[in-house]
Amino acid sequence: MIRMYGFIPAWGLPDVSPYVSKTDCYLRMSGIPFKLETLHQGDLTKTPKGKLPVIDDDGTIVADTVLIEMYLKKKYGDVLDTDLSPRQRATSIAFARMLDESFYWFLVQTRYRRDDDFKLYDPIWAEFLAFVPVNERAGPVKEFRDRLLQQFFHSGKGRNTEAEVEAMARQQIDAISDFLGDQDYFFGAHPTSVDAALYANLTHAMFVPFPSPICRYANSKSNLLAYVNRIQAQHYMQFDHQRSTRG
């Protein structure tokens, strides 16, 4: 069985990371058996590329969500995207990259930019850094936040004001909502690989406790709320997390 390594569960989601959640959802939608495990002491120096998720498929180690998906399709078959047209495949790749490489930074703003938002991580640090004495945790936590905010700045998004980033986020949320329309899934009646990326990023914007205008705007889209609840009901009922309303 495939072993996938992530961080820790949080807020009723399988992992605190949207990237881990993306691969988790892809595996569930594809029907590929796997076990999600917490990386020992969160030591990213033990991973091939210093990030998560990483999968171990009977000794074959693969890192990066895009490369993991490519590997899984090659070994286990492309059960989700096999019926997509070339145009749909191109659209799928474009939206997935938008989520991985642009939308992600909106999530970073909702969590790390404001002190009050970042403080909501306190219970997570207590669990994630349980092996570190309480009086020694402040340093690693500050280092983690500083590193994320530096990456946020160098991505280009963090050079903008909070309001400007929120405007960019609304534009992308509108694009997702408008394309989805009243369909059950991104391309119609059946899920495809891009739905895993959409679900992961949307839930990390909508099903989290951060009081960000980005989170509120995503939750204001009734079709997006129905969409994530639909996938939640099919693949994540063990998390008891389906919601009908959000603030």
Beta bridge partners of 13: 10
In eight-state DSSP terms, residue 5 is E
User: Does pTM top 0.85 for this prediction?
Assistant: yes
* pLDDT tens per residue across span 231-240: 999 999 877 5
Instruction: Evaluate if residue 131 carries a pLDDT over 90.
Output: no
Whole-number Å distance between alpha carbons of 81 and 29 = 11
| pLDDT 10s digits, 168-205 | 999 999 999 999 999 999 999 999 999 999 999 999 99
Going from N- to C-terminal start, the domains of the chain cover: 2-239
* pLDDT in the model for residue 24: 98
Tell me: the pLDDT tens digits for 58-83?
999 999 999 999 999 999 999 999 99
Residue 152 · residue 110 · CB < 8 Å: no
Instruction: Tell me how far apart the alpha carbons of residues 26 and 52 are, in angstroms, rounded to a whole number.
Output: 15
Report the SS3 class of residue 10: strand
Confidence of residue 242 (pLDDT cuts 50, 70, 90): very low
Residue in 243, 160, 181, 172 with CA at minimum distance from that of residue 201: 172
DSSP string of 143-202? Answer: HHHHHHHHHHHHHSGGGS-HHHHHHHHHHHHHHHHHHHTT-SBTTBSS--HHHHHHHHHH
Share of the chain above pLDDT 70, in %: 97
Could you give the CA distance from residue 69 to residue 62 in angstroms, rounded to a whole number?
10
Q: Which helix (H) or strand (E) holds 4?
A: strand 2-6
CATH class of the 2-239 domain in this structure? mainly alpha
pLDDT score of 244 more than 60: no
Residue 247, pLDDT score: 40
